[in-house]
């Protein structure tokens, strides 16, 4: 079996340490994700595959600024592309579009 690493972002680390704190998995008075995994592996803690609503709400709240930033980048890229296309049209002697419309991105909840 090949070993694979799991990439966690800062929000996931905060959630993991919060779970360790709530479960009492501490090392030298600090919550420890290693102790949490040791407790799970040794059978002292059991894991239920049911995400906590508080954890999901925390992750969504922390990721919202990042999602807004991605949306702003997406809109800026679309505007740059539109301006580039207009420059190309003008250079080719094709009249500019009368009412350029920037299409809206899909629903924000899919980010």
36 contacts 20 by C-beta, under 8 angstroms = yes
Query: Averaged over 41-60, what is the pLDDT?
Result: 81
Paired with 26 in beta bridges are 31
23 contacts 36 by C-beta, under 8 angstroms = yes
What are φ and ψ of residue 65, in 5° steps? Answer: -60, -40
The predicted-structure confidence for 67-96, as pLDDT tens digits, reads as follows 888 889 999 999 999 889 888 888 888 877
In terms of Cβ atoms closer than 10 Å to its own Cβ (0-12, 13-18, 19+), residue 84 is exposed
User: Domain boundaries in the chain?
Assistant: 10-50, 52-94
Report whether pLDDT(62) > 90: no
25 contacts 39 by C-beta, under 8 angstroms = yes
pLDDT, averaged across the chain: 82
- Is the full-model pTM beyond 0.85? no
């Amino acid at each position: 079996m090949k070993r694979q690493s799991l990439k966690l972002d800062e929000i996931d680390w905060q959630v993991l340490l919060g779970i360790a704190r709530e479960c009492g998995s501490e090392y030298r008075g600090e919550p420890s994700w290693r102790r949490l995994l040791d407790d799970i592996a040794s059978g002292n803690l059991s894991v239920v595959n049911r995400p906590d609503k508080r954890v999901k709400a925390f992750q969504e709240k922390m990721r919202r600024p990042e999602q807004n930033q991605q949306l702003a980048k997406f809109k800026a890229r679309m505007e740059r592309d539109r301006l580039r296309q207009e420059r190309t049209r003008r250079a080719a002697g094709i009249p500019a579009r009368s009412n350029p419309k920037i299409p809206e991105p899909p629903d924000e909840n899919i980010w």
